[in-house]
């Protein structure tokens, strides 16, 4: 192949179906939450301000008064926050306040191809959800809090028992409890600052870091080249269906090593952030120390020596990390029937329909509040309305189904075994899907 032809081919695959440009952060290594934000500063044409649709706002003085916490405002400066703004503010109060902070119109068109029209799928659903909130039963949220508290207590009890009795089965239960604590804490870091979100850090992950990689990246741009929950795993795991991102051999190896990747995930992420802080600039928080409270508790409350406590903790941590990765990556998103960047996109670029195209919900856990909370259940509704407690999402299905019928779309469902098989098939998939979601051929 001639050099010019090879260069042209390389540039052809450096395209994302949801943006006009290839994401800048993918041109640098290593990939991190910080490089992702820096890439958005380059790509989003926000001119150092906050961009919502085609207008620029200065939210500097508002950050300290933001009801959700200053973090969301401070970390998104210089980026396009159109979709996060819409999905995180169901009521109209925030929309009415925007004019106070308007600076000027943006000089360039939006990089993202998503639409949010008044009569579109998402904003129609959002209006109906807004009306439903006025008569919503919020008592399930209290049950969510009780479940989370119970799981936190079980982490301490089973970790203590497993260490004190030197019992592998009890450590396994402690690992499951720690996994469930993190998945349930995920419910809270989408919301305004609260103490429960910090329990996520017991897995050595960090709630603020995940607010970037999960809430601002994955939730808004799932299964795309802008999704950190895909790119952070590359080249070890690759879900993008293209030989340019991973060869056939790489993909087979990724299936075989995925259990190991899950197991070391939490330790690796903590180490990466620590090294970045030492070599470049600090991205650690005071609450990163919470990740070490479990071994401190075990050392102080059992008669085990320090080395035994560390070994016990690492066993619990490894089991929890494995289960967290396994549950999370087989929750809703990866299957050959689900849209991934490179596949033909739906002609209607409505952001809400895009969320449906990148999700197949877990239909087998809807009966249990505990499983919904700990297995990323009600996934489509959670993606579209992330600030709502998981416990109340099921009350929104009448509004969702009504809107789906009106826009001739559907919410797909399957069980966990289907997702496990689907994720394996997606890891191996190299050919893009030429049939757009929602078309008759796709059906």
441 or 75, which is more confident: 75
Q: pLDDT tens for residues 366-398? A: 999 999 999 999 999 999 999 999 999 999 999
Q: pLDDT tens for residues 218-267? A: 999 999 999 999 999 999 999 999 999 999 999 999 999 999 999 999 99
Please confirm whether the linkage preceding 30 is cis (ω < 30° from 0): yes
pLDDT over 60 (residue 119): yes
| Two structure tokens written together for 274 | 């620590």
Q: What is the pTM of this model?
A: 0.94
Q: What percent of the chain has pLDDT over 70?
A: 96
User: Mean pLDDT across the stretch 10-39?
Assistant: 87
| Two structure tokens written together for 123 | 């904003």
pLDDT over 80 (residue 12): no
10 or 170, which is more confident: 170
Fold of 17-120: Flavocytochrome B2; Chain A, domain 1 (3.10.120)
Q: pLDDT tens for residues 153-194? A: 999 999 999 999 999 999 999 999 999 999 999 999 999 999
Question: What DSSP designation does 80 have?
Answer: B
Between CA 28 and CA 11 the distance in angstroms is: 16
How many other CB atoms are found less than 10 A from the CB of residue 325? 21
Classified as helix, coil or strand, 375 is: coil
Distances 73 to 58, 67, 76, 130, 340 between C-alpha atoms, Å? 10, 10, 6, 23, 29
Q: pLDDT tens for residues 315-344? A: 999 999 999 999 999 999 999 999 999 999
CB neighbour list of residue 175: distance below 8 Å, 6 or more residues apart = 315, 316, 317, 318, 319, 320, 322, 323
The domains of the chain are located at: 17-120
How many other CB atoms are found less than 10 A from the CB of residue 28? 12
Classified as helix, coil or strand, 55 is: strand
Angle between helices 139-164 and 168-189 (to 10 degrees): 150
Q: pLDDT tens for residues 131-144? A: 999 999 999 999 99
Between CA 420 and CA 334 the distance in angstroms is: 9
| Two structure tokens written together for 271 | 């180490």
Angle between helices 248-279 and 416-428 (to 10 degrees): 90
Q: pLDDT tens for residues 48-60? A: 999 999 999 999 9
- Are the C-beta atoms of residues 77 and 116 closer than 8 Å to each other? no
Q: pLDDT tens for residues 61-117? A: 999 999 999 999 999 999 999 999 999 999 999 999 999 999 999 999 999 999 999
Q: pLDDT tens for residues 343-368? A: 999 999 999 999 999 999 999 999 99
Between CA 385 and CA 393 the distance in angstroms is: 9
What is residue 28's predicted lDDT score, i.e. its pLDDT?
A: 87
């Amino acid at each position: 192949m001639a050099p010019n032809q090879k260069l042209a081919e390389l540039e052809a695959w450096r395209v994302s179906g949801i943006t006009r440009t290839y994401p800048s952060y993918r041109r640098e290594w290593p990939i991190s939450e910080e490089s992702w934000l820096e890439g958005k500063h380059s790509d989003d044409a926000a001119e150092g301000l906050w961009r919502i649709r085609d207008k620029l706002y200065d939210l500097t003085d508002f950050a300290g008064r933001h009801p959700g916490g200053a973090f969301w405002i401070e970390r998104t400066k210089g980026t396009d926050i159109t979709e996060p703004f819409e999905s995180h503010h169901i009521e109209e109060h925030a929309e009415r306040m925007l004019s106070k902070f308007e600076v000027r119109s943006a000089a360039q068109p939006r990089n993202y191809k998503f639409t949010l029209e008044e009569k579109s799928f998402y904003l129609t659903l959002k209006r109906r959800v807004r009306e439903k909130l006025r008569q919503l039963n919020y008592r399930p949220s209290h049950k969510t809090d009780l479940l989370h508290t119970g799981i936190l207590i079980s982490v301490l009890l089973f970790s203590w028992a497993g260490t004190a009795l030197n019992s592998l089965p009890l450590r396994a239960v402690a690992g499951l409890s720690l996994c469930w604590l993190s998945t349930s804490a995920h419910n809270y870091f989408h919301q305004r600052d609260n103490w429960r979100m910090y329990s996520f850090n017991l897995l050595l992950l960090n709630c603020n870091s995940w607010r970037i990689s999960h809430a601002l990246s994955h939730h808004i741009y799932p299964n795309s080249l802008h999704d950190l929950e895909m790119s952070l795993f590359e080249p070890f795991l690759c879900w993008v269906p293209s030989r340019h991102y991973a060869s056939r051999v790489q993909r087979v190896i990724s299936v075989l090593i995925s259990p190991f990747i899950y197991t070391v995930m939490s330790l690796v992420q903590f180490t990466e952030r620590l090294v970045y802080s030492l070599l470049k600039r600090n991205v650690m928080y005071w609450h990163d120390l919470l990740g070490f409270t479990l071994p401190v508790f075990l050392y102080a409350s059992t008669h085990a020596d320090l080395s035994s406590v560390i070994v016990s903790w690492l066993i619990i941590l490894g089991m929890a990390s494995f289960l967290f990765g396994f549950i999370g990556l087989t929750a809703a998103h990866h299957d050959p029937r689900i849209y991934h960047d490179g596949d033909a996109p739906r002609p209607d670029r409505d952001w809400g329909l895009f969320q449906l195209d990148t999700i197949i919900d877990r239909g087998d856990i809807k009966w249990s509040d505990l499983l919904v909370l700990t297995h990323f259940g009600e996934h489509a509704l959670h993606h579209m309305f992330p600030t709502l407690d998981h416990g109340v999402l099921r009350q929104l299905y009448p509004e969702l189904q009504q809107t789906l019928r009106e826009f001739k779309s559907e919410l797909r469902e399957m069980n966990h075994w289907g997702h496990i098989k689907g994720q394996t098939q997606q890891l191996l998939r190299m050919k893009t899907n030429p049939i757009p979601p929602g078309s008759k051929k796709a059906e």
